[in-house]
Homo-oligomer: A and B are copies of this chain.
Amino acid sequence: MLKVTVWNENRHEKKDPRVKEIYPDGIHGAIANALSTHDFDVRTATLDEEEHGLTDDVLNQTDVLVWWGHLAHDEVSDEIVSKVSEKVLNGMGLIVLHSGHFSKIFKKLMGTSCDLKWREAGEKERLWVVDPSHPIVDGIDSYIELQQEEMYGEHFDIPAPDELVFLSWFEGGEVFRSGCTYRRGNGKIFYFRPGHETYPTYHDENIQKVIANAVSWAAPTDHKRPVYGNAQPLEAIKNQEN
């Protein structure tokens, strides 16, 4: 059974009664509850726990890590970021949600600023499926509509995605590459845009389905981390120097 850890910075929930009302169990709780209805072994971890809840033991027990952060990206320790990055290169799946675009771990794995346009105006978002063959859109119609969301607009400063799965239309006139896959080392990464803390996005059945699909897709492959470094020849070399 796939082992999933849902990580949340869990600060909005503590500070803002509106957020607490929408997500009484925290954003991590809402996502974990939704994932638990699938055949996953789900746990949660949050910023203010010891080692942000991401101890070696937890990371070693994690096949796919889901990441939500916003206010406190800088409080995530560089050491934990390095460990998570190393785990991804070793095959752990990583699902980065919404404002996680600015997390240390996403920026480190992308190598770009990951900057974008944004606006909080409770506007309509429509996420169009542009790759109907992808397992991440299994069971999803031609688009997902969210009545109120924060806008994220292009240009989104990311490397061109390996696969582009969703494109968003926003009422205020912008578009956005909302569902993007990347492969880094042995690991698979999915960035999924929606999920502002003041809207009930993670209670939306389609959004939950996409996240669950993404978790399955990002499952580690049974493949050892390749051997790097000095290598003996596999064939005789004629022109040898010495």
* Interface of A toward B, CB cutoff 8 Å: 89, 91, 108-113, 115-124, 126, 128-135, 137-142, 147-148, 151, 153-157, 159-160, 162-164, 167-175, 177, 182-188, 221-235, 237-241
Contacts and interface: CB of A to CB of B under 8 A. Distances in A.
A159 B109 CA distance: 10
B148 A130 contact: no
A225 B169 CA distance: 21
A125 to B, nearest CB: 11
Assembly stoichiometry (copies) = 4
Given A109-B111, A175-B167, A221-B137, A132 B185 contact: yes
B128 A175 contact: yes
Contact of A89 (B108, B113, B232): B113
B163 A160 contact: yes
Contacts of A159: 159, 162, 182-184
A147 B182 CA distance: 34
A27 to B, nearest CB: 19
A168 B120 CA distance: 22
Given A148-B239, A154-B129, A221-B134, A234 B117 contact: no
Contacts of A168: 175
A240 B175 contact: no
A126 B89 contact: no
Contacts of A182: 159
A112 B183 CA distance: 10
A111 B84 CA distance: 13
